[in-house]
Amino acid sequence: MSATKLPPFPVNQNIRLMCFDGGGILGYFTAIMLRQLCEKDSGFLGKQTVSAFAGTSIGSLISFLLAKEETPRDLIMSGELENIFHNSLLYSNRLNPIDGWLSFWGITAWSGQADMNAFLDAHFGDMKLGELNNRVLITTFSYGNSSGENQWFERIFRNFPSETHDYVGDSDWLVKDVAFGAVSPATLRPVQNWLSDGGMTAMSPDLSSLAQVIDSPLGNSAKVTMAVAKCLTRLEELLKLFANPPKDFSIANLMKGVNSSPPKLNNQHLEELHQANLVEKTDLVQIQELVAVMEQNVGKSGSDATRVQREFENELALIRALAKHRDFPAEKLTQLETAMTGLEQGLTRLVDLLKRLKTVSLDDLEATIQNLIPDLFHHATHSLKGNINDMARQVTELAGIQRLNRIEMFSLGVGQQTPGYFTENFNFGWLPFMTLPTNITQKCYAPPTFNLLYSPTTNDISYMASLFLPDDRYFRLNPQVVGFPVPSVIPATYMARFDFLKEYYLKSIRDQFNSGVKPEEIQAAVQWLTAHNWCEPLPHP
């Protein structure tokens, strides 16, 4: 397997999510809105301006197409994004004439499997998710590929790791395989790779993508407890080394003791806390001076000294991080602050000793350190260790909240006047459910009068997302102007198989956009993007 080239979300940086609703052929409305926004602002969708693209159904295809580009706006300004909706292969069933003929009798799928695969091959070839230039969060619906009850579930693909999971398996999927499933409701195309349209559960990816991003980077409380305990144990080891130095005490031996620890110990235990945006990097002059003195007196390469520096930084950062959270009870907070103060004072005195290393005798140095350590050792280890579980639990809870507070979301709809719709209301029954004969292995059997429940309510999802992202961190652009003569999503997408109807619908969608969308609606979106610096590249991590 090949790991993704895309990193996790950077630490201490806002996360910009751009989300695209599903809507079949009405995705053309989204493409037009993107073109308008690009024309209004030359920085919109420039290189590295979005943290991740999220999509459901046709929104997944839009996400993939944009994520493929280094500069996504180029795809829009060239007109290519809008042109894909004029491509007959998107909804046709003509590459396999027999399959196309049988589809009229409900024996094979209404839209052609070969047609859609040819379309995706032309755009993505054998590109893998991990080879895309931008992060994606793709909502699909999985039929489980396993036995037992309740094997159907929402399946979200991502091409970048979190702090707890590398998602290499997702990154090795071919884009075309995920895209086929993502844009193929069970009543429209055959089920391929056990995947179907994510609109089976939600036509908007706003909440599903949000859930993926706030997935706690610290894992469960037990894992954090172990990390905190290990870090404090390491602190205890260092302090004991200071308190009971060997007879031939020297900086070289001190560093040797540090280097005898397992390599992964170095800078490991606080890595998750850094990722969770809980730890501010310490920049103590004393630490820098300590490293300089070590390098001067030991005569070793800077790598060893740097390692010792990071050990001290880790211990200080842990105590600082835990002490600054006011959710701790007052008495625990006092203990933490006392430990932090004692540790800093102790290191300061140690640095002073190191500076005078050439003039202080070995006996004086050892005696002074032994007098210095007891109080520091007591506050920085014993009082802290009694509260490890409480610390770990609260750090875990704070991690998800702090991640959520860094998310901004720009959500685009498809302009449909109806906020929710139901396949059962259209009574498609035997005609569209052509997956039965062609997908025996899916065990998806149904009688001719079968009605598939399909009720995405995008307005509800948008409302809930806005509650999770207050303080103007959520913007929804979805002028609901598309209506007659364009049918609702399901019938419009079915009828788009016929080129003359598809072109008629596309023209109607553009006309309704031009006549129904108010300039101030687009301008409000531009103002929000500008106010939140979305048209500027994200800071380099």
Active-site annotation, residues: 57, 197
Is residue 100 helix, strand or coil?
helix
The CA distance from 95 to 130, in Å, is 30
- Identify the residue with better confidence: 432 or 404: 404
How many beta carbons lie within 10 A of that of residue 452, not counting itself?
A: 17
Q: What is the residue extent of each domain of the chain?
A: 15-96+115-204+413-421+458-531, 221-400
Residue 402 has pLDDT above 70, yes or no: no
- Identify the residue with better confidence: 20 or 212: 20
Q: Which helix (H) or strand (E) holds 79?
A: none
The CA distance from 352 to 356, in Å, is 7
Average of per-residue pLDDT across 239-259: 43
Between 78-87, 179-188, 363-372, 469-478, the lowest mean confidence (pLDDT) is in 363-372
Matching residue, tokens 């909502």: 139
- pLDDT for res 273: 35
Topology classification of domain 15-96+115-204+413-421+458-531: Cytosolic phospholipase A2 catalytic domain (3.40.1090)
Residue 341 has pLDDT above 80, yes or no: no
CB 128 within 8 A of CB 171: yes
Q: Per-residue confidence at 263, pLDDT binned at 50, 70, 90?
A: very low
DSSP state letters, 262-305: -GGGTTTTTHHHHHTT--PPP--HHHHHHHHHHHHHH---HHHH
Q: What are phi and psi of 472, to 5 degrees?
A: 60, 30
CB 24 within 8 A of CB 492: yes
Distance of CA 299 to the CA centre of its chain: 45
How many beta carbons lie within 10 A of that of residue 166, not counting itself?
A: 15
The CA distance from 214 to 218, in Å, is 11
Distance of CA 23 to the CA centre of its chain: 23
Between 58-72, 78-92, 432-446, the lowest mean confidence (pLDDT) is in 432-446
The CA distance from 70 to 46, in Å, is 8
**Ramachandran category for residue 147: left, alpha or beta (phi over 0 → left; psi -120 to 50 → alpha):** beta
Q: pTM of this prediction?
A: 0.67
- CA separation (Å) from 278 to 164, 325, 396? 16, 9, 10
Residue 223 has pLDDT above 70, yes or no: no
Residue 467 has pLDDT above 70, yes or no: yes
- pLDDT for res 397: 52
State the SS3 of 319-344: HHHHHCCCCCCHHHHHHHHHHHHHHH
Q: CB neighbours of 237 closer than 8 A, spacing ≥ 6?
A: 257, 261
Residue 524 has pLDDT above 80, yes or no: yes
Residue 69 has pLDDT above 90, yes or no: yes
The CA distance from 224 to 220, in Å, is 7
Residue 306 has pLDDT above 50, yes or no: no
What percent of the chain stands above pLDDT 70? 53
The CA distance from 273 to 313, in Å, is 13
CB 277 within 8 A of CB 406: yes
- Identify the residue with better confidence: 281 or 175: 175
Residue 288 has pLDDT above 70, yes or no: no
How many beta carbons lie within 10 A of that of residue 109, not counting itself?
A: 27
- pLDDT for res 290: 42
* pLDDT tens-digit series, residues 134-170: 999 999 988 765 555 556 778 899 998 876 566 667 8
CB 466 within 8 A of CB 197: no
Using CB atoms within 10 Å of the CB of residue 467, give its burial: 0 to 12 exposed, 13 to 18 middle, 19+ buried: exposed
Using CB atoms within 10 Å of the CB of residue 471, give its burial: 0 to 12 exposed, 13 to 18 middle, 19+ buried: exposed
Name the average pLDDT for the chain: 71
The CA distance from 36 to 14, in Å, is 25
Average of per-residue pLDDT across 275-293: 38
Is residue 354 helix, strand or coil?
helix
